[in-house]
């Protein structure tokens, strides 16, 4: 079976629309089109898309931009690996580890510095859960392979618990919230902006965030082939991401007005709170800075959640020119 056919089958299996498949450019068009995959929560890419600044910067180089929305990070990176998109917007630090384990030929080209306050373990206000040790035997909602999944593993380890000591409920953020709100689970591990929305709209208590447990970095990826063939395109994208991160930090209220409608019409106050917990500081990826990626890989392998051991350093890393690196 050809790669495109396999990709189509897998996307349909994940419930994504055929419209996404037909929207992908042909091979002939791909030479002059940068295909970007993103999620609704891809903050900086969403701002670039809404403001049109990336199209303008790349248009001067004769390159068009096409945008392709995905439901989650895993199918996004699968599409990247089989060549149906060229760049991935930010994904949690756990996602590249799973992609490596599956043999994906990926390259890091940017990261956002740690944001440990941007994910947390929530319990209902009034619940008899006051320490991480109290999670033993409890049902916990978490999204599989997300950064929150590693937070849960690290939190349990701190409490001298194994993953098998809890009952994991692998749910999407929307389903996780519904289960949490209806009392179907005892705790919910979630990230921004879903975290701030729950804290402001539901009676919750934070059992722990990632402070001291997980750095929670977001990574931007491309394929090794694209990184080798189009370094100038990556240079442009990197520069625009860095500038957009600076703009967001300087204009939180204005950014919230743009992002709120994209995030399900969230109130600006919720969006501002969520963004205040993310660094949005875009920096280069250094191979010697992947120590936590190795810890994540080892933790998931120890729990039997990866098919094989992963060496986090066995991955390509693209570096920006000095003028855009910070």
What single string gives the DSSP state of each residue in 147-209?
HHHHHHHHHHHHTT--GGGSEEEE--HHHHHHHHHTTSSSEEEEETTHHHHHHHHS-EEEEEE
Q: For residue 226, is it within any domain?
A: yes
* Gyration radius of the chain's alpha carbons: 19
The answer to whether residues 52 and 171 belong to one domain is no
- What are 110-140's pLDDT values in tens digits? 999 999 999 999 999 999 999 999 999 999 9
pLDDT at 6 over 90: no
Domain that holds residue 295: 3-114+217-261+282-317
- What are 195-204's pLDDT values in tens digits? 999 999 999 9
Q: For residue 104, is it within any domain?
A: yes
pLDDT at 3 over 50: no
pLDDT at 75: 85
The answer to whether residues 99 and 188 belong to one domain is no
Q: What is the CATH number of the domain that holds 89?
A: 3.40.190.10
The answer to whether residues 109 and 221 belong to one domain is yes
CA distances from 207 to 107, 134, 210, 247, 294 (A): 35, 10, 10, 32, 26
Boundary of a domain, candidates 209, 230, 252 = 209
With CA atoms as reference, report the closest residue to 91 among 144, 146, 143: 146
pLDDT at 165 over 50: yes
Q: For residue 267, is it within any domain?
A: no
The answer to whether residues 245 and 298 belong to one domain is yes
pLDDT at 22: 35
The answer to whether residues 155 and 291 belong to one domain is no
- What are 237-246's pLDDT values in tens digits? 999 999 999 9
The answer to whether residues 97 and 239 belong to one domain is yes
Report the distance separating Cα 308 and Cα 102, nearest Å. 9
Percent of the chain whose pLDDT exceeds 70: 89
pLDDT at 194 over 60: yes
Q: For residue 65, is it within any domain?
A: yes
pLDDT at 325: 59
The answer to whether residues 196 and 147 belong to one domain is yes
The answer to whether residues 27 and 123 belong to one domain is no
Q: For residue 193, is it within any domain?
A: yes
More confidently predicted of 23 and 300:
300
pTM value is 0.86
pLDDT at 221: 97
pLDDT at 7: 29
pLDDT at 73: 79
Q: How many domains does the chain have?
A: 2
Over the chain, what is the mean pLDDT?
89
pLDDT at 9 over 90: no
Q: For residue 326, is it within any domain?
A: no
Q: For residue 312, is it within any domain?
A: yes
The answer to whether residues 230 and 205 belong to one domain is no
The answer to whether residues 236 and 313 belong to one domain is yes
Q: For residue 276, is it within any domain?
A: no
Residues 6+ positions from 11 with CB-CB distance below 8 Å: 20, 21, 75, 79
Boundary of a domain, candidates 147, 178, 209 = 209
Q: What angle do CA 302, 209, 292 make, to 5 degrees?
A: 40
- What are 57-109's pLDDT values in tens digits? 999 899 999 999 987 778 888 899 899 999 999 999 999 999 999 999 999 99
The answer to whether residues 143 and 225 belong to one domain is no
pLDDT at 121: 98
pLDDT at 4: 38
- Specify the 3-state DSSP secondary structure of 315: coil
Torsion sign over Cα 276, 281, 286, 287: positive
The answer to whether residues 298 and 256 belong to one domain is yes
- What are 13-35's pLDDT values in tens digits? 333 332 333 344 444 344 689 99
């Amino acid at each position: 079976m050809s790669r495109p056919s396999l990709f189509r089958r897998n996307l349909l299996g994940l419930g994504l629309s055929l419209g996404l498949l037909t929207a992908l450019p042909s091979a002939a068009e791909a030479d002059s089109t940068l295909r970007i995959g993103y999620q609704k929560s891809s903050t900086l890419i969403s701002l670039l898309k809404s403001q049109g600044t990336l199209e303008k910067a790349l248009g001067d180089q004769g390159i068009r931009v096409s945008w392709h929305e995905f439901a989650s990070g895993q199918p996004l990176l699968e599409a990247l690996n089989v060549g149906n998109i060229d760049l991935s917007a930010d994904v949690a630090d756990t996602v590249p580890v799973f992609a490596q384990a599956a043999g994906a030929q990926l390259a890091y080209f940017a990261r956002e510095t740690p944001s440990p306050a941007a994910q947390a373990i929530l319990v209902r206000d009034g619940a008899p859960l006051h320490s991480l040790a109290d999670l033993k035997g409890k049902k916990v909602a978490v999204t599989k392979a997300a950064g929150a999944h590693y937070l849960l593993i690290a939190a349990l380890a701190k409490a001298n618990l194994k993953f098998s000591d809890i009952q994991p409920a692998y749910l999407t953020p929307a389903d996780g919230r519904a289960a949490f709100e209806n009392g179907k689970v005892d705790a919910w591990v979630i990230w921004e902006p879903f975290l701030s929305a729950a804290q402001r709209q539901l009676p919750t208590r934070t059992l722990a965030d990632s402070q001291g447990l997980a750095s929670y970095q977001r990574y931007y990826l491309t394929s090794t082939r694209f990184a080798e063939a189009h370094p100038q395109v990556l240079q442009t994208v990197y520069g625009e991401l860095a500038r957009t991160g600076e703009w967001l930090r300087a204009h939180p209220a204005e950014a919230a007005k743009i992002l709120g409608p994209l995030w399900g019409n969230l109130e600006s106050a919720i969006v501002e709170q969520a963004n205040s917990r993310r660094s949005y500081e875009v920096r280069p990826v250094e191979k010697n800075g992947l120590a936590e990626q190795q810890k994540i890989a080892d933790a998931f392998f120890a729990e039997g959640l990866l098919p094989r051991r992963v060496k986090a350093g066995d991955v390509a890393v693209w570096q920006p020119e000095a003028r855009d690196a910070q």
